[in-house]
Chains A and B, each alone.
Chain A
Amino acid sequence: MSRLTAMLTDPQFWVPVLVLVAGLLVLAWIR
């Protein structure tokens, strides 16, 4: 498994990504 694949299948990667997307959505809503 390459490092890229390891990262993309790592739940510890997707948690911060999803929280970042949610944060941007909240920011777009409150502005």
Chain B
Amino acid sequence: MLSVSRTSLAVVVLALAVASIVVLALVPSPVTPKPFMTLHGLGYEVDYYSVSAFNYPVIVFRGFMNSMPVPFTVSLFAIAPNHIYTVGYYSGYGSVVVNLTGSLVRYIASRWVSEFNGALNPSLIAFITYGEGNKTWTVIAAIPYKPSWVVSQEPIEITVNANFTAVKPVIVMPVTKPTGTTQSKPTNGPGSDPFGYTYVGSCIGNPNVTYPPPPQQPPTCARYGFQCYYWALQQCSLFKGPIPLLFVGWSKNAIQNGVSSIFIDYMGGGTAQSGSGLFGTLNRSGNLILVGPTITFSQSYTIETSTATSQVCIVYGPSLTFTGGSCPANNIPSPIYYVPSSGFFYIGLPGRVAYVAFQEYVNNYGYSTPLNVWANGTEPLSLSPKDFAGNYLLVYPYIDVGNGSITGMFAEVLHAYEMRRQLVVSLDDGYNSVANVSACPSPLYGYQELTGNLAFVEYTLGNAITAYSPRPVNIAPLLESLLPGVYVGEVPTIVGHLITGAGTVSTIAGAFIDTNHLLIGANVYVNFNPSSSSSFYITLIGSPQATNPGGSSSIYPMGMIINASNYYLGLRECER
């Protein structure tokens, strides 16, 4: 019996051996497709093949959850030299094929070829989303391509493998704990929830949600008509967390070797005038729209700090520790954050921010059809009652060591910078300890040398940043930056600066603030030892100017970054 089974097994083995030889002969031949280029991003991988199942350029999207194919949708955008176009929305089970044969894609590719002569490889941006229950996972993939492939319709196949397991769900289950997490507490010290935002619930039906201006195409739905266009709110997710206003960031080398301490006095003493407020930001087909103000101050408030002391001291330490004591270098008693790495200190208003997605519809004789036009963004919906005390508007301190909303904002700013070489924040070179000067003519600062080898550079943040006028935005700041909860995670280290290895980042609150009517001050003292400190550079950061419906200029989180090797991003700019 044994010998019979052994005989048959030997026959099988012989057959398998012959089959293996055939397969081995095929593997190195050109019949077998092999990627000629592979790229990775957070939760996705892009492979490029010149052997294709098609005879024109295509992108094959694949979506996996726990390594198994799942149904998913793809929202695909193409970046033209100065516009972002929606290529289309697709859905499928396990795989989705997008042909790069359409006239729009070919037009965009030809623009790149004609303007840059093929010297640049632009990207398509895909939002690949999988939903289950009330959770959605989105992988944002940047897909670089050679425009000539599209123009001459070469049979290039690009496969994009999206691994949803690698990203955090955008909408999570409502928090069932009755007590909120610590980000709404005055000081989110160590041990608190590191995430900047907590999902609260749906905000569909919330009266504070502000719709974008009516779609451009006339006629609108003002009268009962034969054809009209309107916006429908398709998604509204409410998050609880701080709306950042001012920040101070530092790199690890700067805090460890460059400066002795950063002392921040955010007493401010600014005012929020009656009628001023916070705006929402929406991205409609690549154009930034301000909506609101969604929160308006019904009376004038004096901006005041929430805590007993309005000072904080940031010092390098082996682990993140929050304690009281005297700030090293200047010996002023204050709360002290010992920080082991790069991070941000920021002040903000605890509140509720909504992620909203509006879809345009057309109504034909009473039949409504959705169009592929979306306006997505964030709107601050309400401030927390703890923000108010009589005639005072209270601001709260927060620390973000690589997992909070300011890190999230920079992750997305840098992501966009890498993708498009376009900065969505404005930089102004501040102080430079190597030359002991400011590179730009007049960011307002004070420099003083004290006894005992102590010197400091002082900035009054609000004034220093509004002293120069950031350039206006006329194209999309970014799709990504306006999507809260979108998990970018992987922060590109462009010139080896600030944020490296931020494992988890959440988002930004796109709260534009009317700077004509709301001003907060914070004095930042960067203390250092002029004889022994290594070099550091201060860069002032504001966001681009945008025009709100009332016509005045607006700005959102502003701050500064202290870097060790060069000005932040290594860009020398003097915006004025």
A and B are interacting partners: no
